[in-house]
Amino acid sequence: MSSVNITGTGMYIPAQIVTNEDMKRFVDTSDEWIVQRTGIRERHFSQGEPNWYMGVQAAKQAVGNAGVDPKEIDVIISCSITPDYFYPTIACTVQDELGADNAFCWNMEAACSGFIYALDVARSYLAVGSAKTVLIVCSENMSKSLDFTDRSTCVLFGDGAAAAVVQKGDGLYASCMGSDGRTGAALLARALPLDTPFATEKDDPKYAKYMEANDPYLKMNGRAVYRFTAHAIPNMVTGACERAGIQVEDLDLIVPHQANLRIIETAAERLHVPMEKMYVNIDRYANTSCASVPICLAELVADGRLKRGDKIALAGFGGGLTCGAVVFEW
């Protein structure tokens, strides 16, 4: 079976640590309130590092750890919902900074599910032989999309980047993906509005979908998101295991998107696995969107927690709403 081999990982975390106590300067909250509801104790916010810079630093580390020449990279896929520019993409900027002249570059936007989707696409490139080496770069400046007067959202997120070099592997691999566009408004951030001298019908009621987002800040219906995510991880992980021909209990480790500790605990219960099998670092980084799963991987590799042959599941869920899981042997 054609699988993936993650040969190098890297991460970049801004040096600035913002604790729950620090957040009290902006909103009516407390360390106890945040920890009880989310499991978050601190997060890192950029002091000025742009998104592309964080992605480049993570990519350089991943490529160095993989021991590959940047000119051997065939494809660079970037993921971000907080880019510095609509174009050029982060992928093209990474190509320039690395000197990966032979790669073609593009950006995938699947919010917090981005790394999972990108890994599955990378596996397709590798399986059909159109690429031998794929670099995935996930970078998020979530702090710039936050309304620091809204305590229900601003305490949940952090900034960070991570990258992975992916090459063809053998053995176990399966994926399970899903989306629910019907509840897309549960996580919402508006892009540039159509506001030109020629847009004379821009306020027509028939275009009113999502118009409650009149500023660029992230909006969230927490209850709707929780209902979706409470089922997303167990359904996607179970589906991927079934396609791989294994049982959930055969997994050595599950790496879920770090959105909320309560969601992860609920997923563990529904999957009937102990929390020891769920990797958690949300207490230190909060929700870094698409960077969260690859940050976990980079930490696991650095700590020597992953052994070749380990069966692992990666699971993501986020805006769209989107969700997905991949199961493979490390």
d(CA 17, CA 74): 36
d(CA 59, CA 65): 10
Q: HSE (CB half, 13 Å, CA atoms) of 109?
A: 8
Task: Mention every residue, 6+ apart, whose C-beta is less than 8 A from residue 35.
Answer: 20, 41
Determine whether 70 is exposed, middle or buried from the number of CB atoms within 10 Å of its CB (0-12, 13-18, 19+). buried
Mean residue pLDDT across the chain: 94
d(CA 171, CA 3): 6
d(CA 28, CA 317): 28
Contact 83, 90 (CB under 8 A): yes
What tokens were used for 176?
A: 């399970």
State the pLDDT at residue 106: 97
At 256, which helix (H) or strand (E)? strand 253-256
Contact 311, 171 (CB under 8 A): no
**Please, what is the angle between helix 51-66 and helix 90-98, to 10°?**
50
Q: Residue type for 306, please?
A: L
What tokens were used for 95?
A: 């190509």
At 38, which helix (H) or strand (E)? helix 31-38
Q: Which residues have a catalytic role annotated?
A: 112, 257, 287
Tokens 């309130």: give the residue.
33
Instruction: State the SS3 of 217-230.
Output: CCEECHHHHHHHHH
State the pLDDT at residue 315: 97
State the pLDDT at residue 1: 65
Tokens 């992980």: give the residue.
237
3-state secondary structure at position 188: strand
Per-residue pLDDT tens digits of the chain, which is 330 residues long? 689 999 999 999 999 999 999 999 989 999 999 999 999 999 999 999 999 999 999 999 999 999 999 999 999 999 999 999 999 999 999 999 999 999 999 999 999 999 999 999 999 999 999 999 999 999 999 999 999 999 999 999 999 999 999 999 998 999 999 999 999 889 988 888 888 999 888 888 888 777 666 788 999 998 899 889 888 999 999 999 999 999 999 999 999 999 999 999 999 999 999 999 999 999 999 999 999 999 999 999 999 999 989 999 999 999 999 999 999 999
Report the Cα 78 to chain-centroid distance in Å: 11
Domains and CATH numbers, the chain: 2-170 (3.40.47.10), 174-184+215-329 (3.40.47.10)
pLDDT tens, 54-102? 999 999 999 999 999 999 999 999 999 999 999 999 999 999 999 999 9
State the pLDDT at residue 230: 82
Task: Mention every residue, 6+ apart, whose C-beta is less than 8 A from residue 53.
Answer: none
Task: Mention every residue, 6+ apart, whose C-beta is less than 8 A from residue 326.
Answer: 116, 119, 120, 123, 173, 174, 175, 240, 313, 314
State the pLDDT at residue 203: 82
